[in-house]
């Protein structure tokens, strides 16, 4: 499967983030380089980012020409290897030059253009390894590396020139192969080690289903999953076990401040069909998928106590208010004061009302 397929820059980035951990038993280290060239600018913009799984760990660009960490845990690497960021800076400069050379080789890329290259290695929890490298031009596949044969596969005709040049450069293909199979895997293992707390976290989603009644007589069921990690989650609304995708509205999967993720999906239904709907959630950390329907909220013992206490407080407050009212009324013999203070029954009904809202 091509990871740098058709589509926009963003799609490419998204595909690469997802591809990095397809099936969440895989972990990945990916470097994504982008060069944006405008015809009226002599110097194109170049930037490179390193990701472990979908977490941005380091960044390099042609403005500063310096690789810098982007996440706190990656700083621990410096303790073991003080030249880590110098090495990354040199790698960044190398790829910047490599991409400029690539652009110069291809004479059809004189207008505004985006070149992207990707270097990824993946390690599965059972020890399997994968590595790949490819280049895209304006969001389309351009050339990809055949790591086993040390050759390049051109995806489009203009890439033939680059293919011939790179095929002949065995020093480059050998070093790329060894990077993907060795150094990259070593760094990935180190990254998973250092970033263990954030990357190897395992938190199952907490799933709830709530219900809103619309003015049109239809109901909206909202399924919320929160507190989960890793990010990959498969949540669907199902009617009688069948996925009901067209009628489902979704929020994206968004991060919480504690590093876990949150998502929601809702569906509009006829109230009489309510019992057929289930929110189906699959997540790597769940022992088995969850199927949740909407449940009439059960008043627990503590909230019942809360209601009783609330009523009592209401009664006491009401009586007090009445007493105070009576006192002022008596003292001033004024009708106004008596009217302003709430009556016992008003007080009671508002207290019970708010106790019920809080359930």
Ligand X SMILES: *[C@@H]1O[C@H](CO)[C@@H](O)[C@H](O)[C@H]1NC(C)=O
Binding site for ligand X (CB under 6 A): 47, 59, 61, 63-64, 66, 68, 107-108, 148-149, 151
Please identify, using beta-carbon distances, which residue of 158 and 342 lies nearer to ligand X.
158
Tokens of 119: 């270097």
Please identify, using beta-carbon distances, which residue of 42 and 107 lies nearer to ligand X.
107
Please identify, using beta-carbon distances, which residue of 70 and 100 lies nearer to ligand X.
70
Please identify, using beta-carbon distances, which residue of 114 and 290 lies nearer to ligand X.
114
User: To the nearest whole angstrom, how small is the minimum distance from the Cβ of residue 153 to ligand X?
Assistant: 7
Please identify, using beta-carbon distances, which residue of 153 and 198 lies nearer to ligand X.
153
User: To the nearest whole angstrom, how small is the minimum distance from the Cβ of residue 32 to ligand X?
Assistant: 13
User: To the nearest whole angstrom, how small is the minimum distance from the Cβ of residue 60 to ligand X?
Assistant: 7
Please identify, using beta-carbon distances, which residue of 47 and 328 lies nearer to ligand X.
47
Say if residue 230 is preceded by a cis peptide, omega within 30 of 0.
yes
For 339, what's the count of Cα atoms within 13 Å in the CB-facing half-sphere?
3
Nearest to 280 by CA among 211, 240, 234: 234
Please identify, using beta-carbon distances, which residue of 25 and 151 lies nearer to ligand X.
151
Distances (CA, A) of 256 to 229, 259, 290: 10, 5, 22
User: To the nearest whole angstrom, how small is the minimum distance from the Cβ of residue 342 to ligand X?
Assistant: 59
User: To the nearest whole angstrom, how small is the minimum distance from the Cβ of residue 194 to ligand X?
Assistant: 21
Residues 51, 69 contacting (CB under 8 angstroms): no
SS3 content of the chain, % helix, strand, coil (to 5): 40, 30, 30
- Over the Cα atoms of the chain, what is R_g? 31
Distances (CA, A) of 203 to 228, 233, 264, 282, 287: 5, 12, 17, 13, 12
User: To the nearest whole angstrom, how small is the minimum distance from the Cβ of residue 72 to ligand X?
Assistant: 16
For 320, what's the count of Cα atoms within 13 Å in the CB-facing half-sphere?
6
Nearest to 2 by CA among 123, 116, 136: 136
User: To the nearest whole angstrom, how small is the minimum distance from the Cβ of residue 62 to ligand X?
Assistant: 8
Please identify, using beta-carbon distances, which residue of 61 and 220 lies nearer to ligand X.
61
Residues 149, 173 contacting (CB under 8 angstroms): no
Other CB atoms within 10 Å distance of the CB of residue 332: 11
Please identify, using beta-carbon distances, which residue of 27 and 95 lies nearer to ligand X.
95
User: Residue 278: helix, strand or coil by DSSP?
Assistant: strand
User: To the nearest whole angstrom, how small is the minimum distance from the Cβ of residue 161 to ligand X?
Assistant: 8
User: To the nearest whole angstrom, how small is the minimum distance from the Cβ of residue 99 to ligand X?
Assistant: 16
- Give me the long-range contacts of 235-238 (CB less than 8 A, separation at least 24): 235/263, 235/265, 235/279, 235/280, 235/281, 235/282, 236/265, 236/279, 236/280, 237/265, 237/267, 237/277, 237/278, 237/279, 237/280, 238/277, 238/278, 238/279, 238/280, 238/291
């Amino acid at each position: 499967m091509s990871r740098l397929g058709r589509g926009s820059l963003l799609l490419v980035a998204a595909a690469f983030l997802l591809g990095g951990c397809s099936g969440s038993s895989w972990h990945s280290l990916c470097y994504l380089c982008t060069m944006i060239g405008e015809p009226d600018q002599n110097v194109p913009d170049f930037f490179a980012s390193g990701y472990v799984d979908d977490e941005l760990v380091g960044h390099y660009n042609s403005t500063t020409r310096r690789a810098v960490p982007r996440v706190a845990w990656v700083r621990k690497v410096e303790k073991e290897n003080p030249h880590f960021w110098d090495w990354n800076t040199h790698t960044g400069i190398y790829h910047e030059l490599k991409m400029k050379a690539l652009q110069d080789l291809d004479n059809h890329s004189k207008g505004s253009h985006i070149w992207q290259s990707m270097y990824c290695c993946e390690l599965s929890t059972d020890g399997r390894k994968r590595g790949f490298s490819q280049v895209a031009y304006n969001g389309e596949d351009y050339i990809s590396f055949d790591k086993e044969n040390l050759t390049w596969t051109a995806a489009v005709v203009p890439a033939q020139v680059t293919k011939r040049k790179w095929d002949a450069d065995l020093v480059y293909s050998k070093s790329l192969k060894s990077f993907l199979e060795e150094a990259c895997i070593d760094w990935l293992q180190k990254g998973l080690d250092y970033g263990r707390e954030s990357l190897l976290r395992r938190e199952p989603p907490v799933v709830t289903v709530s219900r809103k009644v619309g003015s049109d007589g239809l109901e909206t069921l909202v399924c919320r999953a929160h507190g989960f990690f890793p990010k990959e989650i498969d949540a669907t609304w199902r009617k009688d076990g069948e996925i009901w995708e067209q009628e489902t509205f979704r929020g994206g999967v968004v991060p919480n401040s504690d590093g876990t993720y949150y998502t929601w999906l809702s569906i509009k239904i006829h109230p009489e069909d309510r019992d057929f709907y289930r929110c189906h959630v699959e997540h790597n950390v769940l022992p088995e998928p969850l199927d949740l329907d909407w449940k009439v909220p059960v008043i627990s013992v503590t909230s019942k106590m809360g209601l009783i206490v609330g009523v009592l407080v209401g009664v006491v407050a009401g009586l007090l208010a009445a007493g105070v009212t009576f006192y002022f009324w008596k003292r001033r013999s004024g009708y106004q004061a008596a009217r302003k203070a709430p009556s016992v029954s008003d007080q009671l009904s508002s207290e019970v009302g708010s106790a019920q809202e809080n359930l």
